[in-house]
Chains A and B, each alone.
Chain A
Amino acid sequence: MKLRRFVIALSIIIALVLQIVPMPLTVDQYRPDWVLLVLSYWTLALPNRVNVGVAFFVGLILDVLLGTSLGVHSFALCISIFVLAANYQRLRNYSIWQQAVIIGTLSSLYHLIIFWLQHLQTDVNFLFDYLWPVITTMMVWPWIFALLRKVRRQFRIT
């Protein structure tokens, strides 16, 4: 089936769209890192197909979409995804909640790297509100994991 080949790309595109859907200001600060979640799943499941290279290009797209200088998001995504890709065999054996904690840690690393890079460019101040997405990302991970695993088995993606 032709769709099979595009499932990974399609899921990443959906994640990118979810990442930029306009939302009311009060809800916006709790938006989970959809792109990081989806890339994390594929890295854990198929590290030979999705790893640092894909993260780099998706990060560049994210930079253009979010209007940051090119390279900021790709830098942060690459480091986070590298940690997963280097340890995927161990992380696969963890329970889903342990994985959620790991993903949460990575998400805070991701946000801090982005903050640092932005801080070098403009003197933005750190607010703890910037770390709300870490909590929501952790809570969304089990559902994303279950959903994408179903998708992967359905389409038999290897």
Chain B
Amino acid sequence: MNTMFTRGPSLVSRLALALFVSVILIFIDHKYDGFASVKVYLNSIVSPLQYMASLPGQILNSSAERFTSHQKLLEDNRLLTLQSVSMNEKLQRFELLEKENQRLRLLLGSPIDAPTEKMVTELMAVDNNPFSLQIVIDKGAINGVYEGQTVLDNKGIVGQIMEVGTTNSRVLLLADISHAIPLRIARNNVRLVANGSGKIDELLLEHVAHSADIQVGDMLISSGLGDVFPEGYPTARITSIVQDESRPFAQVKATPIAQLDRLRHLLLLWPEDAPTRPIMQSSEEGQP
């Protein structure tokens, strides 16, 4: 049916209405964060689309796995065995050191580090929105994920949980322009704050005094201040320091230790004081 006269309100009034509603939505969402609870449901509703979108990648991966040669598997196996032996050796020493550390802390009357619970999760989707760096992981509210939770990969901190859906959740990466993380230099405990730059391999350290003792190559670890990230996880390494005396502060850049552009398996942390506890699914019971 090709009607010459459209039914309902005219096009212009429809546009005006749609734009008006959009602006109100943006305002409420951004200024007052008014949709936090609704977004859980919205994310769950659209999650089938995300599963569909990640399907081609999964098919490619599984067919690539099917066609890996025997040779390659043997090689991988050998490497992993070697790695596991050397890690186990380190772990033995680590356990000893941990016990010793706790004894010493007890003697000093300092609080003992509480154990953290962990869960392995997998990357589901990477956002193609060029203005923000976010990823979607395959664990959600049914696994006990909470907002603000720390996400790691095997090298260091990746970011924090931003939105929780029923079966998946959204992670804001360290390098996002709206993200900041309190850090300290592992060498001398100088405290810093690292802001994301919007580029995936760059963090900006702001308000660093010219006289601060920093060097290129310094390792930055999370300081635990601000009660979002737990203390002591490696986060970034300083790559450049520009000391322009005409500026009030030194311009320091760092690069995240976690490889944010090639994430695959991630780790979720539940410290002692987390608002929720992890809920393991039956198939993951065996995981550490």
Contact = CB atoms under 8 A, between A and B. Distances in A.
Interface of A: 13, 16-23, 25, 28-29, 31, 47-48, 51-53, 55-56, 59-61, 64-72, 74-75, 78-79, 82, 85-86, 114-115, 117-118, 121-125, 127, 129-130, 158
22 contacts: A20-B49, A20-B50, A20-B127, A21-B56, A23-B128, A29-B130, A48-B1, A52-B11, A52-B15, A53-B14, A59-B22, A60-B25, A66-B129, A67-B134, A70-B25, A70-B29, A71-B22, A74-B21, A75-B19, A75-B22, A75-B23, A78-B19
Question: What is the predominant secondary structure among interface residues of chain B facing chain A?
Answer: helix
B241 to A, nearest CB: 22
Contacts of B56: 21
A119 B134 CA distance: 17
Main DSSP-derived SS at the A contact region: helix
Interface of B: 1-3, 6, 11, 14-15, 18-19, 21-26, 28-30, 35, 39, 42-43, 45-46, 49-50, 52-54, 56-57, 125-132, 134, 162-163, 170, 177-178, 198, 200, 261
B131 A17 contact: no
B70 to A, nearest CB: 28
Contacts of A117: 26
Contact of B15 (A18, A61, A78, A118): A78
Q: What 3 A-B pairs are tightest by C-beta distance, nearest first?
A: A71-B25, A71-B26, A75-B22
B22 A67 contact: no
Scoring A23, A29, A71 by chain B CB atoms within 10 A of each residue's CB, the highest score goes to A71
A86 B19 CA distance: 16
A78 B199 CA distance: 30
B30 to A, nearest CB: 5
Given A56-B18, A69-B29, A85 B130 contact: no
A122 B178 contact: yes
A48 B1 CA distance: 9
B26 A69 contact: yes
A114 B22 CA distance: 12
B263 to A, nearest CB: 11
A46 to B, nearest CB: 8
Contact of B132 (A56, A68, A78, A125): A68
B130 A129 contact: yes
A125 B10 CA distance: 37
